[in-house]
Amino acid sequence: TTPAYEFELTDVEHDFRMVCGPESGAVLSALGDGTVVQPTTFSIASIQPNPFNATSTITLELPSAARVDVQVYNITGQLVTRLVNGLVPQGRQQIAFDATNLASGIYFVHVNIPGQLSEVRKLVLVR
């Protein structure tokens, strides 16, 4: 089996570890004392960078595995791309949006998790 990957960030005030395991595909956060921090609500944690040039990352918080649909629309409401449409494991999940072939402008990311979350966020692509 593929080993899990760990990344540690330590400074004077914080001790934080990220672990990504192949079994679940989930990214979990752990505090320095070993306490695992699981998401408690379905949410869009962030979309960074925004404004962006070429690529941006959509970070979702999933307290349990769920069917996730992530779509991107342009300013006129036309579907540009569907980034995810299927079962996504629990944890903090990152989805890359590559807009290399798109024109500068305003785009909208719609994240739908049936029965849990339906949210739209604005993205600004600047060339």
pLDDT, residue 127, reads 85
As given in the structure block, the two tokens for residue 70 are: 């992530």
Q: 30-63 pLDDT, tens per residue?
A: 555 555 668 899 999 999 999 999 999 999 999 9
Could you read off the pLDDT of 82-115 as tens digits, one per residue?
A: 999 999 999 999 999 999 999 999 999 999 999 9
For the cut 80, the answer to whether the pLDDT of residue 75 exceeds it is yes
Q: With 50 as the cut, is the pLDDT of residue 24 above it?
A: no
Contact 96, 52 (CB under 8 A): no
Separation CA 54–CA 33 (nearest Å): 38
Structure tokens at 97: 């949006």
What is the per-residue pLDDT for 36? 60
pLDDT confidence tier of residue 73, bands split at 50, 70 and 90: very high
**pLDDT for 123:** 95
| pLDDT > 60? residue 14 | no
Give the model's pLDDT for residue 38.
81
